[in-house]
Structure 1
């Protein structure tokens, strides 16, 4: 969640912490446990379709967040294979429109949007009107000309803006001033404004509109919104995507109590998110709406707000997040038409969300240039996967914890990523990776086998700043038949990637 928009009570923050690492332990380490055997079976003869590459869907914080780092960050991400398909950016109506003067000023976001336009093919723009609606008591009629002028000008200047997300977490930010049904009155002026921008500018890539950017998948908010959309007689109404955030479930209240009002985090079982697409399609079908509308999970993470597992020392939580976010994305990718977005390149206050080291150095306050967190390394690792997903079955994945596997192929070779998401658990695995039916162009040929790893000691700034970025831990030439197998050890929350490509100059 963005910038403290969701706060936990002090009591609940302790409850949310779970089990901390032992005092004095190496950052990211866990109490050793007996290693268990596991098997990952890969079948390269089959295809599961195009691999989504979730590392290419990402978030930048608002324009004011570490602007001095942004040029270097954009260059570094592009160099590391993390140029985006779609990045989410933030535009606040009240910071652009001066109601007293009736003027619009874009200086504060001009450099920001120019920078991110170099980082991503498409931009998803949160057109945030919460301050106008909540604090300024603006009506839909007052909101419409403001967002129309802003969106028209920004689309003219930055044509890579493709998606408009109406609202950010209205089920939290606007819950005291709007009902779930009443939210639609404001959404209606969004689609009217988007349609007008498209008619006037006739852009090569027209704007699409979606939302409402709920802080969770919420039937309480979504169903009344869909009821209003269904009942809207306008032939110009549009809902190009439906968006929400993927952290957990947060009923109203403090969250500090047991029972149905207690907060629930997906970090304890990431597989829980696999049911969300089915619930969405059931809600759409019940109203006679198109069940193929995409779902955009425009923020994901295992540490919402200021939550944690290790309160006094965040360093172990960095590694938990590096394995936990890919676990969430794994389950989202098991559903069709779901796109999970990473959160976030640099966060203004919560370091467990950072993809780049933003609280480094001896003072633990220094933003570092060109230095990944373990989570950032996990994204860099995923960027090395190929473009077609193939079946990969793990024998040791139960209730969202254990050994995960993603296997891919394309004309350049094959790649398999495995990781052991344990959250605060301590189980290690000896994982045999059985790669069956290697493509004919690879079988029986000399192949360059490279391995990359992230764990409590490798590709981990907190263990060794000199080797903070993604480390290659092995390289050899192998000559497998139609089948290739190998065994890797996965300690808690460790990730490993194996890449096989033709060995240049060898026959």
Structure 2
């Protein structure tokens, strides 16, 4: 078994000198894209913002619906979600053959598999689940401040004309279903109309065809708001076009159609899209790009911006290294986007899915029975990586990082706590971080005992990909009681490529 010297703890009583003689004007050392050692000098008194909640936007899937306990596990280990994205498939809730609504339908029951005229969409890879829609929504509504509901299906059937479903029917089903669920789950705040309309396994439509349904869906939302007297933060917000691939071109077309609508018919409260498998430099500037498109079409440039699906790497195969690749690079994508495009909120894909086809994107794994217990749920590397990010709270400390660099170091301070995380994107390297001015940041803790915990995520530590490996909570590699000094070195020998190390000081 591989072993590492986790922590070399050094108390520095002599004046601290920069590690690099090419000292920058702000007193921090300049960075190279790749160096033999991951090193930073961190003045803990220099902070510049409240650290954003980068893990507060969750994605679910009903292709294999999660057990209700997953919502509780996620809340316990990541904190309550700001927004959770849930799904409503219209052809599960409403059957065109008897025109009856079943609001608490069992998820994933393929009642159309013998009907050749029915467009399949994603039915061929949807798994029947034990949970009902109410059980699914009860769980995630309870663990989230707000819900985003993605409403889809029947669009291609309407366009093909093979089934007795009209545009009016589609709007009626959309409206009646959403109105019912909004009354049952008042924290439904956002509605996406459709999902990746150009995809062959989704609507398989054109931009113009999609906009026809967006118009109907947005009209339905406006009518529900009026009929229920919803105002302010209670009002349902609607957005689109929920696209992937050639994102800016597709959003440009969508906004062009929208701008041509009579102003009395316009309802667009947010922009939504999906970014997969792109260099971070290609996606972290979305705010400026989308503001430019909105301005081009004479529309308000301050609309909320939601990247409602995202992973840095999107492979079809499933290999252990792909898990660690996304686990290491997703924090980088979330972090740099928060700096360059602070109004963009990212919903990484995905809390739970069908392990046979999408394990590499999942945060949690386990049975999806209604009565699944917490002890049966396993946190995967992405989930543990998100737990690391969730531990960063309070004021963010200034640390040099560059978007195309081969490592990233983050640090935050609170009244009685400090967290430092380092991620390695190159070959195995030593981590050598120097903290200074701890007494100025924590004056009442000078010379007192504090607890220092260290955690690692790599092929050896907190790796639940191994056969029979289980665990939902991060396991610390060391826990020490130390006397706080003004300057402190945190050192880790041999951090693997795509490995992560985190230190938590509790005062």
Correspondence for 1:498: 503
Aligned to 1:213, the other structure's residue is in SS state strand
Residues 434, 369 of structure 1: alpha-carbon distance in 2 compared, 3 angstrom cutoff: same
Residues 238, 39 of structure 1: alpha-carbon distance in 2 compared, 3 angstrom cutoff: farther
1:411 aligns with one of 399, 410, 415: 415
The answer to whether the 8 A contact 1:180-1:220 is kept is no
Post-superposition shift, 1:242?
0.8
**1:175 and 1:358 mapped to 2: Cα distance?**
27
Correspondence for 1:377: 384
List aligned pairs for 1:18-417, cutoff 5 A.
36-62=36-62, 65-66=64-65, 70-108=67-105, 109-129=133-153, 130-133=155-158, 140-173=167-200, 178-203=205-230, 205-216=234-245, 218-235=247-264, 237-247=266-276, 265-266=277-278, 269-304=279-314, 307-308=316-317, 314-334=319-339, 335-348=341-354, 349-358=357-366, 369-394=376-401, 397=402, 399=404, 402-417=406-421
Greater Cα shift, 336-345 or 181-190: 181-190
The answer to whether the 8 A contact 2:196-2:244 is kept is yes
**2:282 and 2:347 mapped to 1: Cα distance?**
17
Aligned to 1:393, the other structure's residue is in SS state coil
Aligned to 1:343, the other structure's residue is in SS state coil
Greater Cα shift, 492-501 or 271-280: 271-280
Post-superposition shift, 1:243?
1.0
**2:280 and 2:439 mapped to 1: Cα distance?**
32
Correspondence for 1:472: 476
Post-superposition shift, 1:368?
7.9
Correspondence for 1:251: none
Q: Which runs of 5+ in 1 are unaligned?
A: 1-24, 27-33, 248-264, 360-366, 503-507
**1:65 and 1:368 mapped to 2: Cα distance?**
20
Residues 134, 61 of structure 1: alpha-carbon distance in 2 compared, 3 angstrom cutoff: farther
The answer to whether the 8 A contact 1:82-1:380 is kept is no
Residues 467, 346 of structure 1: alpha-carbon distance in 2 compared, 3 angstrom cutoff: closer
Residues 144, 44 of structure 1: alpha-carbon distance in 2 compared, 3 angstrom cutoff: farther
**2:481 and 2:489 mapped to 1: Cα distance?**
14
The answer to whether the 8 A contact 2:453-2:476 is kept is yes
The answer to whether the 8 A contact 1:127-1:166 is kept is yes
**2:44 and 2:167 mapped to 1: Cα distance?**
53
Q: Which runs of 5+ in 2 are unaligned?
A: 3-33, 106-132, 368-373
Aligned to 2:406, the other structure's residue is in SS state strand
Aligned to 1:75, the other structure's residue is in SS state helix
CA offsets, 1:227-266, max 9 Å, x none? 122232224523222111121xxxxxxxxxxxxxxxxx32
**2:287 and 2:295 mapped to 1: Cα distance?**
12
The normalised TM-score by structure 2 is 0.77
Correspondence for 2:462: 459
Aligned to 1:80, the other structure's residue is in SS state helix
Correspondence for 2:30: none
CA offsets, 1:72-118, max 9 Å, x none? 32332232234311111110112112223222111221211112112
The answer to whether the 8 A contact 1:184-1:228 is kept is yes
Post-superposition shift, 1:463?
4.3
The normalised TM-score by structure 1 is 0.77
Residues 61, 471 of structure 1: alpha-carbon distance in 2 compared, 3 angstrom cutoff: same
How many residue pairs are counted as aligned between the two chains? Answer: 431
**2:477 and 2:409 mapped to 1: Cα distance?**
19
